[in-house]
Chain A
Amino acid sequence: MRRIGRAVSVGLRRSLPMAMAMAIGSLMLLDFFFDEAHINALGGFFLESTVIIVAFALLLGLLNVLTVHLRRIIKREGGWIYSIALVSIALIVIIAGIPGPESAGVTWIFDHIQFPLQAATFSLLAFFVATAAYRGLRVRSLEALAFVLTAVIVLIGQVPVGRYLGEFVPALKDWILNVPSTAGVRGIIIGVALGTIATGVRVLMGFDRPYTSERDSTQ
């Protein structure tokens, strides 16, 4: 009896998620291509459910982060001082956000702490790009020469200085961006789309089961 129960449990653990994924995935695909009332209604329901589930997944992620760092603090593992900072700041922001996302506390924290810090960190990239350009953009070969010339033309053509030097500079920049650059990116986009389609078909047909645990997916 126990063996039967275990077999049923294992079967459900493997088969039920796969069946649900295949059924709902197929339904959403049909909803995308067909305009039928019942299918649209079901599709809308699952769409809204997705939004709710993702929101709860964010909450779950937050709880996981807090748990991991609390454990690190309790066990005095490496970097536990930083874990104290993370946990305390997270709790402060959570408590400040209890009245709502537009509350004064959250707004102040965002405007005076998060926004300046994030903007300043990203602004450092400009200096790193400049030093990388100084060191990396060396004409060691013909390909490097083409690369450097392209970079110089686009950098100059992008700003009003390029037009000041001559009308051909912004025209050349536009040609570089509209023709070879667009052609290359189009190929990448098509490749990514084909890969996405293949992955979706594999998930719909049950060959890939990203929603199961490692133990179930290998059995």
Chain B
Amino acid sequence: MCDTPHPAGITECTQCGARLLPLGVSPSEVPLEPLRPAEQSTPSREDEGAVVEESDLGEGEIGEDVGVAEKVGDGTGPPWLRKLEATPVGGLAEEAAGAEKLERGELPDWLELPPDFDEMLSEAALIADEEGVAAAQIPPWLEALRPEPEEGVEEPAQAAGPTEAAGLLRGIRGTLGIEPILAISRRSVPVEPVAPSTAAQERAELFGAVVREPARPGVMIAQRRRVETLAASSARWMMYLILAAAAVVPILLGSRWSETNMTVTGGTTAMYEAIEGLPQGAVVLVSHDYDPGVAGEMIPQARVVLNHLLERGAQVISVSLTPEGARLSRRVLDEVGASHGYAEGEGYQTLGYVVGVEAGPRAVVEALATAGWSDLVGGAEDIALIVEFAGAPEYLRLWLEQVQGPYGIPMVAGVSATADPFARPYYRNEASRQLMGLMTGLVGAAEYELLSGEAGPALAGMDSQSVVHVAIVLLILVGNVAYFGGRLRGRKSG
């Protein structure tokens, strides 16, 4: 397409020879016109006119096909092919030009099967049988269609259609023409000048001034972030100071308010009664399974319970499933034993750290007699009570599963506050009474001290713990107030 404008009435472009259609007419509505016959000489790509071969139907053909067509014209092909050759190409084009417009669903004549199509097929089959063509063998008439390379490469026939004179496809023939409506050049319509209003002009000038201004956001953002970080860290430090003050101030003041306002839970009472009910000289196996992280609440428990046991005259055998527990329990035992005038081996015995995880508790009970670890115990049945101090719930579970369940030895436990939820189901199991008593955290130790009548470090720490708990609750409330305040402010501004 060369985009050359033409006056109305012209049906063919004078430059490139493309078919021109009136505006508003779709090419499908206009039947194809037979192309002009090609010139006798070999057409070149520089030709502007349409050069059409007699056998050309407007589709590009390769030179081999032309050669084949020429060869087939020699009369060496099968009869049905010769019949097709008899039909002139020009005649087909004229027929197409003169064909009536088809109705919907109606096939053109040339697409319909000829009436003697079956006869042609049978003739082809007969010929194949006559020639005795075996499977995968090419019949002679098809072989005759094979081009002969020794005659030299022939120039491919020129593609039909006009040659493109402009654009990327310049010089190429046989391209599909585009819709004329797309090829119409459009002239730009000048936009009417708009006079801006005064306010718009001012805003535009302001915008221009802002854009021209050198940007310096880094400093401002950094300053804002420093302020925000300072505020956040200040809030965090305030909380830390509040908590530290809540923990330290009651201790420094020596407050004993909790002693008069404390209640004793059922679990601690049951544990106290279990130990209180031991006969004189009963053998009690005490396991200290905690580490220095929870020693703050476990050591007061161990101290008050061991004190009670030695007061009852029980024979204490101390073990530990953790290496730190062995050392921590040794300190407590020595301290409590010395207060009762006992030396090791007299009222208590320390077996130290026992490895083996699940095998450890079972090995302790079975080996107490068989391995002669203790002269106090002849077997598991000689153990009157097991007291387990568990800093983590898995140690309590080990003793329950490996010793309390199989041997049925009564068991009480003192656990850390974090292990209490996991220990409570065993204490609340009234059917099988897995745990006869349960003491929880520093509060449990304070309750036990209250029951024992001997105030110790646990009761002294209760005021501090109370104030810290209240401080945390207040922090939660302040946090929620700040959260809802922020939401209200956001709604008002939004």
Give B359 Cβ to nearest chain A Cβ, in Å.
4
B296 near A119 with CB under 8 A, answer: yes
Residue of B nearest to A116 (CB): B292
B362 at interface by CB-CB < 8 Å: yes
Size category of the binding interface on chain B: 35 or more
The A-B contact count (CB < 8 A) is: 147
User: A174 to nearest B CB, angstroms?
Assistant: 7
For the complex, what is the distance from the CA of A185 to the CA of B468, rounded to whole Å? 27
The answer on a CB contact under 8 Å between A164 and B261 is yes
The yes or no answer to A131 lying at the interface (CB within 8 A) is: yes
B324-361 contact mask (Cβ, 8 Å, vs A): 1 or 0: 10111011000000000000000000001111110110
Chain B residues, Cβ within 8 Å of A50: 356, 359, 363
> Would you call B292 and A114 a contact (CB within 8 A)?
yes
Chain B nearest CB, measured from A21 CB (Å): 15
Instruction: Tell me whether A177 and B479 are in contact in the complex, defined as CB-CB below 8 angstroms, given that A44-B366, A155-B472 are known contacts.
Output: no
Residues of B within 8 A of A139 (CB): 480, 483-484
Judging by beta carbons under 8 Å apart, are A160 and B262 in contact? yes
Interface residue B422 (Cβ < 8 Å from any Cβ of A): yes
User: A134 and B470 in contact (CB under 8 A), knowing A51-B356, A118-B292, A148-B480?
Assistant: no
CB < 8 Å: which of A101, A110, A151 contacts B353? A101
A108 to B360, CA, bound (A): 27
Kindly specify which of A12-20, A68-76, A77-85, A121-129 makes contact with the partner chain.
A121-129
CB neighbours of B239 from chain A (8 A): 127, 130-131, 134
The CA of A164 and the CA of B476, in the complex, are separated in Å by 20
| Chain B residue at smallest Cβ distance from A167 | B263
Q: Which residues of A contact B68 (CB under 8 A)?
A: none
Chain B minimum-CB-distance residue to A145: B480
Closest to B236 in A: A131
Determine if A161 is an interface residue (Cβ-Cβ < 8 Å): yes
Tell whether B254 is near chain A: CB-to-CB under 8 Å. no
- Contact call A130/B292, Cβ cutoff below 8 A: no
Chain A contacts with B in 91-142, Cβ cutoff 8 A: 101-102, 107, 110-111, 114-116, 118-119, 121-123, 126-127, 129-131, 133-135, 137-139
Contact with A along B414-427 (1 / 0, CB 8 A): 00010011101100
Chain B residues, CB < 8 A from A133: 472, 475-476, 479
Flag B450-494 by CB within 8 Å of A: 1 or 0 each. 000000000000100110111111011011100110000000000
| B420, closest chain A residue (CB) | A177
Which residues of chain B are within 8 angstroms of A118 by Cβ–Cβ distance? 291-293, 324
| Docked pose: A135 CA to B232 CA in angstroms | 11
Is A63 part of the binding interface, using a Cβ–Cβ cutoff of 8 Å?
no
> When chains A and B are docked, how far (Å) is the Cα of A152 from the Cα of B443?
17
Instruction: Please measure, in the bound complex, the distance between the C-alpha atom of A122 and the C-alpha atom of B327, giving whole angstroms.
Output: 18
B443 touches A177 (CB 8 A): no
| Interface residues contributed by chain A, number (CB under 8 Å) | 53
Asked if A170 contacts B263 (CB within 8 A), the reply is yes
A8 at the binding interface (Cβ < 8 Å) = no
Task: Determine if A115 and B478 form an interchain contact, defined as CB atoms under 8 angstroms apart.
Answer: no
Whether B473 contacts A152 by the Cβ 8 Å rule is: yes
User: Could you say which of B257, B331, B363 contacts A51, with CB atoms under 8 Å apart?
Assistant: B363
In contact, A161 and B469 (Cβ under 8 angstroms): yes
A115 surroundings in chain B (CB, below 8 A): 292, 295, 324, 328
Of all chain A residues, the one with the shortest Cβ separation from B417 is A158
Report how far A200 CA is from B480 CA in the complex, Å.
48
| B354-A159 in contact (CB<8A) | no
CB of B294 within 8 Å of the partner chain: yes
CA A177 to CA B292, docked complex, whole Å: 26
Are B406 and A101 interface neighbours, CB within 8 A? no
Question: Would you call A119 and B293 a contact (CB within 8 A)?
Answer: yes
Interface pair A163/B475, CB less than 8 Å apart: no
Interface contact B476-A44, CB-CB below 8 Å: no
In the complex, what residues of B have CB within 8 A of residue A152's CB? 473, 476
The answer to whether A160 and B483 touch across the interface, beta carbons within 8 angstroms, is no
Which of B371, B473, B483 lies in contact with A155, CB distance below 8 A? B473
A121 contacts across to B, CB distance below 8 A: 293
- Say how far A34's CB is from chain B's closest CB, in angstroms: 11
Q: Which residues of the other chain, B, contact A159 by a CB distance below 8 angstroms?
A: 258, 443, 462, 465-466, 469-470
- B476 touching A134 by the CB < 8 A rule? yes
Per-residue contact bits, chain B 425-443, to A (CB 8 Å; 1 contact, 0 not): 1001000000000000001
In the bound complex, what is the Cα–Cα distance between A107 and B327 (angstroms)? 8
Q: A202 near B: Cβ within 8 Å?
A: no
Contact check, B425 vs A185: say whether CB atoms are below 8 A apart. Answer: yes
**Does residue B265 face the partner (Cβ distance < 8 Å to A)?**
yes
Residue B278 interfacial (CB < 8 Å)? no
Do B479 and A174 have beta carbons less than 8 Å apart?
A: no
8 cross-chain pairs, A with B, having the tightest CB-CB distances, nearest first? A122-B293, A118-B292, A50-B359, A51-B356, A159-B466, A134-B479, A160-B258, A160-B261
Known: A114-B292, A158-B469. 17 other contacts (CB 8 A): A47-B366, A50-B359, A54-B359, A58-B355, A101-B326, A101-B352, A115-B292, A116-B292, A122-B292, A123-B296, A130-B243, A139-B483, A155-B469, A160-B263, A163-B263, A177-B420, A178-B424
Q: Could you list 16 examples of A-B contacts with CB < 8 Å?
A: A54-B359, A58-B355, A101-B353, A107-B327, A116-B292, A130-B243, A133-B479, A137-B479, A159-B465, A159-B470, A160-B462, A160-B466, A178-B424, A178-B428, A181-B421, A185-B425
B residues lining the A interface (CB < 8 Å): 236, 239-240, 243, 247, 257-258, 261-263, 265, 291-296, 324, 326-328, 330-331, 352-357, 359-360, 362-363, 366-367, 370-371, 406, 417, 420-422, 424-425, 428, 443, 462, 465-466, 468-473, 475-476, 478-480, 483-484
